[in-house]
Structure 1
């Protein structure tokens, strides 16, 4: 019986130790995007993305600032035309492109239920992103045919990108514990993308919603008490104005790529998903729809899915 008693004491000690850890200040996570997460028949345009991140809670607080977080991200995005056989220029209704970057951002959660976030990204669009190698490796792993036409991809261009995001809760005194609505606006400026995005998101809770400063809605950027459970659906429609996109139009610096196309300036975005949190663990699934982005007769809107998992710790 001694081994059983020892195991019981170890489990009991672990439980009370975990109970004493009432505050998480760090978080690590991964987000995986792929069009196959939304449809087994859909493999086009934004076709794969992977993001690794680490975030921590800053100590500075004030009566108006509830929480400040700092986050670092490493990500790669892959874009392809609608057809897997795109050696001919005419078959490229969207340029092949990859974007590899590192990001640092800070998020400020205010007492009035507003959120401010600023981010800077450094990296590369083009062959230096290793998008072709990543896609071929994934296809080899699942015995899928390689996509042909990567020789037509956007040429190398250095990425220096900035982003600012703001959100504000609507009707702070009029929503229920299971429902709230927030405005969100975003501006991007840089050598990869420049544009504006504006819309709203609504959370529909199966349990009481956490305040946005303590919720997992901003994945990887919200940390706090460990004794928390969240489960809610959300919808996030928005309208985007595209001024520039290097993955479609090529470099700002005069380097000509084999395929460069014009943008559709105004686009509609919709995200619908579910997020769950239990103490240290967070997970989500999101379905994204993006309307037509490229001025090409064959190009259409597209959709993809995103899966995320994070773990918070002291």
Structure 2
């Protein structure tokens, strides 16, 4: 519900203050070069309560902590501008149509997903971006979805949680993810541009292919110095120009498997409540990004068509990301 979303927001806010405090401390630590800005910490929070429509369902909450580091220029090939390594730790919560669903009315499995992802992004002079990542994680009781959600609701007096007795069984997953983006067009004033993006995931968790354009409008930087691709990290002494832009990102997905809905791919007993997926899904993001000096702030809304072969409806949620460069 909305109250749960507000509570989670303040939790994220408190953690962000901690990260900023540590970042400022490290920035004044003599052994680090603050002029270079070669590392970045970021916190991302997803929640359907950010739409202010009194909704608490499906992908209901997510949080991730992200660290990025710029690789030494001497390791680059001639056609590359930079390489950035990344590490993310995250947690996601999934409900049925709400957190007190009766079995007969459940339209999506209850489950949680705890994951760790490591990746590398390569940025090229022709403004193409290749991102490769490996993600491993755990679904089921080992991901602590039930105790976390119940503790939140009990602490703040929200509605009683039920439905976790029917969550997915424990399941380890491992995926390989590849994203590729290429600049297609930009106007001379550098206020509007168009990218074409491709997303591929293969493994035991998410299997899909997605393709779509990205439109940015505002004050924008090249793709290898833009907050959109988390590429503002800079090894030189000069500062990267500030950015403020709106963006629209529609993606058409063809999906083969989704372990958050269908359960463990290799498990015989996947759990008491599993469903098939809709193979075709259309996703839309509408957002705004502001980045200046060391700070990056992004907020967007996500709208997905129906994902589950059940009575489940289309789903939407909001996301907020705050990053700080060292």
TM-score over 0.5 for the alignment? yes
SS for the counterpart of 1:293 is coil
Helix, strand or coil: the match of 1:133?
A: helix
C-alpha distance after superposition, 1:13-54 (max 9, x if no partner): x9xx9xx95421000010000000112411110000000011
Higher helix share: 2
| 1:14-163 pair list within 5 angstroms | 21-59=34-72, 60-88=75-103, 90-163=104-177
Q: Which has the larger radius of gyration?
A: 1
Aligned to 1:292: 306
Structure 2 residue corresponding to 1:184, chosen from 176, 189, 197: 197
The Cα of 1:159 is off from its aligned counterpart by 1.3
Contact map agreement 2:87 2:119 (CA 8 A) in 1? yes
User: Are 1:223 and 2:236 matched, yes or no?
Assistant: no
In structure 2, the residue matched to 1:11 is none
Give unpaired runs (5+ residues) of structure 1: 1-13
Q: Secondary structure of the residue that 1:264 maps to in structure 2? A: coil
Question: Any stretches of 5+ residues in structure 2 without a counterpart?
Answer: 1-26
Distance, in Å, in 1 between the alignment partners of 2:177 and 2:288 is: 25
Aligned to 1:264: 278
Q: 1:304 to 1:187 in 2, by over 3 A?
A: same
1:235 to 241, 248, 255: 248
The question of whether the paired residues in 1 share the 8 Å contact of 2:225 and 2:240 is answered with no
Give the whole-Å Cα distance in 2 for the aligned partners of 1:227 and 1:195: 35
Aligned mates of 2:63, 2:263 — CA distance in 1: 22
Q: Cα offset for 1:147?
A: 2.6
Q: CA separation in 1, counterparts of 2:270 and 2:188?
A: 52
CA distance in structure 2 between the aligned counterparts of 1:146 and 1:156, rounded to whole angstroms: 24
Give the TM-score normalised by structure 2: 0.85
Is the 8 Å Cα contact of residues 87 and 152 (structure 1) preserved in structure 2?
Answer: no
2:226 is aligned with 1:212: no
Asked if residue 283 in structure 1 is aligned to residue 297 in structure 2, the reply is yes
Alignment deviations for residues 268-312 of structure 1 (CA, whole Å, 9 cap, x no partner): 10000000111001111110001100011x211011000111100
Figure out how many residues of one structure are paired with residues of the other and give that number: 291
The equivalent residue for 2:216 is 203
For residues 153-200 of structure 1, what are the alpha-carbon distances to aligned partners after superposition, in whole Å with 9 as ceiling and x for unaligned? 11111111110000001125x554100000010110111111111101
Shift of 1:222: 4.2
Question: Using a 3 Å threshold, how does the CA distance of structure 1 residues 257 and 231 change in structure 2: closer, same or farther?
Answer: same
Match of 2:264 in 1: 251
Which residue does 1:6 correspond to in 2?
Answer: none
- Structure 1 length-normalised TM: 0.88
What do residues 228-264 of structure 1 show as CA deviations (whole Å, max 9, x unaligned)? 3111100000101110011111111222310011111
User: Matches of 1:233 and 1:312 in 2, distance apart?
Assistant: 22
